[in-house]
Amino acid sequence: MVALSVGCSGGASDQSAAASADSGAITRESLAKFGASFYTEPPPASLDRFYPPHTQRMEYRDLMREMYLPESFARQEAQRGQWDAARRSWARFIERFTRLRTVVPEWEARFGTVDEWQSAIQPILASGTPADAERLERTQEALFVKHCEECHATERQRVYARYHFGTFRTVWAIPPKIDDPLIQVMLTEWKGKAAIPDGTVSFRDYMKLMNTSLMTAWNLADAGEIEAARVSMSRLETYLDAIPPVCAECHGGEPRRYFIDADSLEKFHAVSRALAGATVDRADVVRQLRDAFDNTCSRCHDIHLIPAKLQRAWALAANQVAPAQ
């Protein structure tokens, strides 16, 4: 929600409003009250019916946006002195708020009560003086922080991880047939409790294969063991060249290749060429590896790691995967 910028002119009313805003501030205690299950449980199952595959769209997000818009408009209209319009917008907000706060029973208390919102806002709307616009802004913002923002701070990442991404632990990869002893370990010893199809490794383990090859090449090049670094870089390139079908399990219908496009992969091929020269500038190879990692691997990790880690934590808590898997 975008808050309008308001000036502070002092006076008793401003002090009262400031106190009201402070009472709605997010605190460690308030977050802890709702955060105990963050890493052990996915969002409430009652949300499922508002998201694919049960619906064509992410309907709960749409409902939240539809509720928020008239609340935001009421603030703006009050700032412009359009009090009749602000009252109508507020009435639409309350209608939608009343309906939405009950559709996920586990979250009903987090919305606050209709009476709490109405008793705080209705007297200001009824008064409708220029000074009331600032009072409205401060009072609405305090309610927003106390209820909406606190819930978003603890729940939004869980919702994103559950509904906005595929299930990472059900993505399998067929490792290329290359000489890497770690592959055989993964194919046999690391399967744990998961029903991983024969000849495949989990997406997480495929990332380990790439990461091990990359970090080994990086360390060996830095230590001056160039021939061994070349072997590890060759493995890494093979893994990278084979990754598009893995990513396509979630991104298959998208035209963008993100950070497995030709330009991104070329960064790694350039490292191999630098290692293949008659003379090797170790510092330059390390610089190129760092640049390749920062501008390809890390870009994907920034988006995917938080939901992947949350999904894994939930699966571990539910005994659906083994810790070493």
Q: Are residues 109 and 195 in the same domain?
A: no
Is 323 contained in some domain? no
Q: What angle do CA 65, 60, 77 make, to 5 degrees?
A: 15
Residue 71 lies in a domain: yes
243 vs 236: CA distance, rounded Å: 11
Name the band, by pLDDT with cuts 50, 70 and 90, for residue 123.
very high
- Count how many residues are written for the chain: 325
Indicate whether 136 and 211 sit together in one domain: no
Torsions phi, psi for 7 (to 5 deg): -85, 160
* 161 in any annotated domain: no
Does 308 lie in the same domain as 183? yes
pLDDT tier for residue 8 given thresholds of 50, 70 and 90: very low
| Beta strand segments in the chain, E | 172-173, 201-202
Map tokens 């987090």 to a residue.
110
In the three-class reduction of DSSP (H, G, I as helix; E, B as strand; rest coil), residue 176 is classed as coil
d(CA 87, CA 73): 10
The residue-averaged pLDDT of 83-109 equals: 96
Percent of the chain with pLDDT strictly greater than 90: 59
Chain Cα centroid distance, residue 42: 13
Predicted confidence (pLDDT) per residue in 161-182, tens digit: 999 998 998 888 888 888 888 8
Bond from prior residue into 175 cis (ω within 30 degrees of 0): no
Same domain for 147 and 17?
A: yes
CB 74 within 8 A of CB 4: no
Q: What is the pLDDT of residues 49-78, one digit of tens each?
A: 999 999 999 999 999 999 999 999 999 999
- Chain-centroid distance of CA 24 in Å reads 25
The pLDDT value given to residue 202: 84
Task: Respond yes or no on whether the N-terminal peptide bond of residue 53 is cis (omega within 30° of 0).
Answer: yes
Closest CA to 233 of 277, 201, 197, 184: 277
Q: Is residue 297 part of a domain?
A: yes
Last residue of a domain, one of 123, 155, 187: 155
How far is C-alpha 217 from the chain's CA centre?
Answer: 31
- In one-letter notation, the amino acid at residue 95 is E
Query: Same domain, yes or no, for 95 and 198?
Result: no
CA-closest candidate to residue 236, choices 263, 267, 259 = 267
What average pLDDT score do residues 119-123 get? 96
Q: Is residue 1 part of a domain?
A: no
Range of the domain at 48: 12-155
Phi (first) and psi of residue 126, to 5 degrees: -65, -35
pLDDT digits (tens, 9 = 90+) for 221-267: 999 999 999 999 999 999 999 998 888 888 888 888 888 888 999 99
pTM to 2 decimals? Answer: 0.76
Residue 219 lies in a domain: yes
Q: Tell me: do 173 and 312 sit in the same domain.
A: yes
Calculate mean pLDDT across residues 107-116.
Answer: 94
For residue 173, give the 3-state DSSP assignment: strand
CA-wise closest residue to 44 among 95, 99, 92, 110: 110
**Are residue 174 and residue 313 in the same domain, yes or no?**
yes
Is 60 exceeded by the pLDDT of residue 31?
no
The answer to whether residue 226 is domain-embedded is yes
In the chain, the number of structural domains is: 2
Best CA proximity match to 65, nearest among 93, 95, 44? 93
3-state secondary structure of 6: coil
Residue 174 pLDDT: 87
Q: Which tens digit of pLDDT belongs to each residue from 128-156?
A: 998 999 999 999 999 999 999 988 988 89
What is the pLDDT confidence band of residue 189, given thresholds at 50, 70 and 90? low
Domain match, 20 and 126 both: yes
Last residue of a domain, one of 110, 126, 155: 155
Q: pLDDT-derived band of residue 307, with 50, 70 and 90 as boundaries?
A: very high
Within this chain, do residues 312 and 204 fall inside the same structural domain, yes or no?
A: yes
Q: Nearest Cα to 275, choosing from 316, 224, 204, 240?
A: 224
Clarify whether residues 270 and 311 are in a common domain.
yes
Is residue 144 within 8 Å of residue 2, measured between CB atoms? Answer: no
Token output for 65? 């946006």
pLDDT over threshold 70, residue 6: no
Q: Is residue 324 part of a domain?
A: no
Per DSSP, 202 falls in state: E
Structure tokens that stand for 239 in this block: 């893994």
